[in-house]
A and B are shown apart, each in its own frame.
Chain A
Amino acid sequence: LAKTTQPISMDSYEGQEVNITCSHNNIATNDYITWYQQFPSQGPRFIIQGYKTKVTNEVASLFIPADRKSSTLSLPRVSLSDTAVYYCLVGGDSNYQLIWGAGTKLIIKP
């Protein structure tokens, strides 16, 4: 199973762009990279998913280099409500288990 490594915590300020990097050195060929956001007392919520290069949706961008051994979640112009824990998961047909790492606790300051 591909193991992921993320910074334990980060902080930033409102209006800034925040980039959270995840390392997944033993990612399998068929694995996708998925990022989730979790607020206290709630279940995780899907943010974005990608396989390679760049993916963008209405809330975030995901950058994946050619070797796919890492990925970067980019949150443009964060607000206080983006304070949450962010998780990077790697998996696909070869990995049904959805094993979660410790995540990155992001704190946005005014």
Chain B
Amino acid sequence: NAGVTQTPKFRILKIGQSMTLQCTQDMNHNYMYWYRQDPGMGLKLIYYSVGAGITDKGEVPNGYNVSRSTTEDFPLRLELAAPSQTSVYFCASTRAETEAFFGQGTRLTVV
């Protein structure tokens, strides 16, 4: 049972480049989330999904896009990378009213 798997673990992007952060869970959870965490700060919700085909914006969605074509996968897309998107990104999944499981994180640097 792998839980929540994020790839890649580290990435350096140049300003204006695009990339997709992958997130997969094998627990059949309906709810999935993308967060970013800046140094010394709490987690900020970027996007979330309550099931396949359903996504919604969180606190800080600008500059990001998501899709949820299957229950298992919830990729996060950065279209035009900016230095302000330098952060650690976490994907999480849960069923309602139960604990959330987190991936190991992706450390992204935009230069």
Contacts and interface: CB of A to CB of B under 8 A. Distances in A.
A90 B84 CA distance: 29
A45 B99 CA distance: 9
Interface stretch (A13-21, A59-67, A68-76, A94-102): A94-102
Contact of A43 (B90, B96, B107): B90
A3 to B, nearest CB: 13
Contacts of A99: 45, 58-59
Interface residues on A, range: 20 to 34
A44 B31 contact: no
Contacts of B92: 43, 98
Contacts of A103: 42
A98 B33 contact: yes
Contacts of B90: 43-44
Interface string B46-65: 00101000000011000000
Contacts of B98: 49
Which of A34, A43, A46, A103 counts the most chain B CB atoms within 10 A?
A: A43
